[in-house]
Amino acid sequence: MERIAKLVRHVVRLLSEWTEMFPYDFRDELVMTHVRGISESCTPTDRSGEMSLLLRRLLRKLDTLECYEESLRRVPSLGFAFGKTDVTVVCPCPMLLAQQLTHVELERMSYIGPEEFVQAYAIDTAPHGLKVTKNTLNLESYLGWSSRLRNLVASEVYKQEAPTGRVQTTEFWINVATECFNIGNFNSLMAIISGLNATTLSVIKLRLRQIHVSKLRALEQQMHPSCNFSSYRSILKAASVRSERRGIFPEKTRVVIPYFALTLRDIYLVSEECASRLANGHINLEKFWELAKLVTQFLTWRQVDYPFKKNSQVMSYLQTCPTPKESELNLTSYESGSTETENKPPQSSKHFTSSYFVFQLPDMHVTSVTFLMEQYATNTKKMNFLLKSCVVALILAHALADKKVVCYFESWAVYRTGNGAFNIEDIDASLCTHLLYSFINLGDDGSVSPGDSYADLSDGLDGYNKVNNLKNQGTGIKIMAALGGGSAGSATFSTVVNDASKRSAFVNNAVNFLSNYGFDGMDIDWEYPASGDGSRSSDKEAFVETLKELRSKFDEHGYLLSVAVGAGNSFIGSSYDVAGISQ
């Protein structure tokens, strides 16, 4: 009898830990049938009543999940309508809004069970015909929340009729993003940055005060995907260390809400890229240890008692406010862009500062393209939609008269998941004459290096070899490496091109880089000579001199050279010697 009682205690303990750690397993009716059978068998010897208490706790958890899922079903899906109320009316304080966003994030995180990570990747790969049943949609709803927040941010800006209102709303969300960063809410931070980085908001950004431009730029750099999100990972690691401390202000030291899509991607890579068994047939314990660490860390982050008071009105607005879907935002963005252009004073109506075009040196007639763009911008107010489309078509036809179709591939695309996932293997090489692999780095000493060693090199995802293998498809495509980019800034470029020895080193290093990795040429994306942060007035002339030296050296090896430039008249006037570049 004593042996049976001891066995019952062990069974109850096992079930207690199981139901505590993996409660959603018990949504399966077959599993619950077995549990009830075990409970009936244990009841005669379970004098403490632990088994009955265990079942009651489990049923309460499952009931709570049912209520939560029901609340999610009542949330309106993304549609066509914009909310009539502004977020600044519901919550005028950026700090308070960031706190309520954190409450929403923590609430949604709390319902994600560790078994869901396993089920998400095991449904299609279960061995020996084992059926894996996924009983929850908490992962999907959490990702959906991030998409909703992104669209909400963009729609809050777009629905302001006056340009000043759009600027004020944009600045408000920048302040909210800053507060999210200070709290440690990186998931909301990334969604807000994505919403503010909608391409058509670029005109609005031109009107922002410098302090907000600096704030947004700093946040973008912290969350930039280059080098496998190295900046973000460093910050996350520091935040994790702080979260383990219990200081005077725990609300500032304990909250860590990771960028969830990246967390899922990390788990996916370990799950899919690492073999479950070693060559000798033994279980790969290291793989499962890494998976356990990733999931356990997430579970630790979600178990936080956030001290700030919940505001049900604000939380309800964030989760239920009518929010348009992507297609409606795209349509609105076009209309917003037209309105912005029409409301500008005449002297600035020619500026297309959010546009870029790539031209091949020295084949394309840049002056003609610029003239057409200026004429198009000047007469925008008088043109109807059809005429605008015709002018754009003429511009593109003129710019591509020599049949160069130049495409960019951003190396961090390989880190996206779900519908946004895009790998080099997905590229149709027949669509482009030239493909620019973005980006590679320029050092202060004129050195040239990979932008993301993990994504680019053969000991990681092997991006360089994969992209150059596109040339084997027989389409004649040219693969070029793009140097710089928006996040690179202007200071390093300015330092190198204005120093003759560093400039010479850069030219030689560029040739060696192209030779070592098999590229056909290089695209220079400097944003912007003589007008970017850290630039110098001498950049304009020094840039031309640099291009001359590159052209001379590249011709010796048969390499291509192109530049990406700002297409706005303000950039052309301040940053580029068009005649010198064209030569």
pLDDT per position as a tens digit, 261-273: 898 888 888 887 7
Find the range with the poorest average confidence among 201-205, 235-239, 549-553: 201-205
**CA–CA separation, 376 vs 452, rounded Å?**
39
pLDDT category of residue 133 using cuts at 50, 70 and 90:
low
For residue 529, is pLDDT > 70?
Answer: yes
3-state helix, strand, coil in the chain (%, to 5): 65, 10, 30
Cβ atoms of 76 and 324 within 8 Å: the answer is no
Q: What is the pLDDT of residue 353?
A: 28
Q: What is the pLDDT of residue 514?
A: 96
Q: What is the pLDDT of residue 348?
A: 34
Most confident region among 199-203, 252-256, 529-533, 554-558 by mean pLDDT: 554-558
Closest alpha carbon to 405 in 364, 371, 373, 451: 364
Q: What is the pLDDT of residue 526?
A: 92
Average pLDDT over residues 499-519: 95
Cβ atoms of 459 and 417 within 8 Å: the answer is no
**CA–CA separation, 475 vs 374, rounded Å?**
35
More confident call, 198 vs 573: 573
More confident call, 551 vs 55: 551
pLDDT category of residue 449 using cuts at 50, 70 and 90:
very high
Pick the CATH number of 87-320 from 3.40.50.300, 2.40.128.20, 1.10.840.10, 3.30.450.20: 1.10.840.10
Find the range with the poorest average confidence among 39-48, 227-236, 525-534: 39-48
pLDDT category of residue 40 using cuts at 50, 70 and 90:
confident
**Within 13 Å and on the Cβ side, how many CA atoms surround 6?**
3
For residue 152, is pLDDT > 80?
Answer: yes
Secondary structure class of 449 (helix, strand, coil): strand
Q: What is the pLDDT of residue 359?
A: 35
Q: What is the pLDDT of residue 306?
A: 78
Closest alpha carbon to 262 in 289, 236, 300, 286: 236
Q: How far is CA 31 from the centre of its chain?
A: 39
For residue 167, is pLDDT > 80?
Answer: yes
For residue 519, is pLDDT > 80?
Answer: yes
More confident call, 152 vs 487: 152
**How many C-beta atoms surround the C-beta of residue 542 within 10 A?**
20
Q: What is the pLDDT of residue 366?
A: 36
More confident call, 497 vs 570: 497
pLDDT digits (tens, 9 = 90+) for 77-131: 655 456 677 888 999 999 999 999 999 999 889 888 887 887 766 554 555 444 5
Secondary structure class of 79 (helix, strand, coil): strand
pLDDT digits (tens, 9 = 90+) for 176-228: 999 999 889 999 999 999 888 764 455 555 566 667 777 888 888 888 888 88
Q: What is the pLDDT of residue 400?
A: 47
**CA–CA separation, 355 vs 533, rounded Å?**
19
Distances (CA, A) of 165 to 60, 81, 95, 354: 47, 19, 20, 20
- Percentage, residues of the chain above pLDDT 90: 26
Q: Nearest 10 degrees: CA dihedral of 332, 336, 337, 341? A: 160
By CB neighbour count within 10 A (0-12 exposed, 13-18 middle, 19+ buried), where does 40 fall? exposed
Most confident region among 166-170, 264-268, 497-501, 578-582 by mean pLDDT: 497-501
The full set of domain ranges for the chain reads: 2-73, 87-320, 344-582
For residue 548, is pLDDT > 90?
Answer: yes
For residue 483, is pLDDT > 90?
Answer: yes
Please tell me if the domain spanning 87-320 has the same topology as the one spanning 344-582. no
Distant-in-sequence, close-in-space partners of 29: CB < 8 Å, separation ≥ 6? none
Plot region of 104 (φ>0 → left; ψ -120 to 50 → alpha; else → beta): alpha
Cβ atoms of 561 and 547 within 8 Å: the answer is yes
pLDDT category of residue 46 using cuts at 50, 70 and 90:
low
For residue 28, is pLDDT > 90?
Answer: no
Cβ atoms of 104 and 72 within 8 Å: the answer is no
Question: In CATH, what number does 344-582 get?
Answer: 3.20.20.80
Average pLDDT over residues 306-335: 77
pLDDT category of residue 32 using cuts at 50, 70 and 90:
confident
Find the range with the poorest average confidence among 358-367, 383-392, 456-465, 543-552: 358-367
Closest alpha carbon to 271 in 410, 132, 141: 132
pLDDT digits (tens, 9 = 90+) for 329-388: 655 555 554 444 444 443 333 322 223 333 333 333 333 333 333 343 444 433 344 444
Find the range with the poorest average confidence among 21-35, 232-246, 322-336, 418-432: 322-336
Distances (CA, A) of 412 to 87, 229, 425, 435, 464: 32, 9, 14, 15, 13
Distant-in-sequence, close-in-space partners of 371: CB < 8 Å, separation ≥ 6? none
By CB neighbour count within 10 A (0-12 exposed, 13-18 middle, 19+ buried), where does 121 fall? middle
Q: What is the pLDDT of residue 543?
A: 95
For residue 539, is pLDDT > 80?
Answer: yes
Question: Kind of pairing, strands 406-410 and 560-566?
Answer: unpaired
Closest alpha carbon to 178 in 223, 144, 148, 142: 223
Q: What is the pLDDT of residue 556?
A: 93
Q: Nearest 10 degrees: CA dihedral of 275, 281, 287, 289? A: 160
Roughly what angle, to the nearest 10 degrees, separates helices 138-158 and 326-343? 20
For residue 253, is pLDDT > 60?
Answer: no
For residue 44, is pLDDT > 50?
Answer: yes
More confident call, 581 vs 119: 581
Mean confidence (pLDDT) of the chain: 77
Most confident region among 217-226, 385-394, 446-455 by mean pLDDT: 446-455
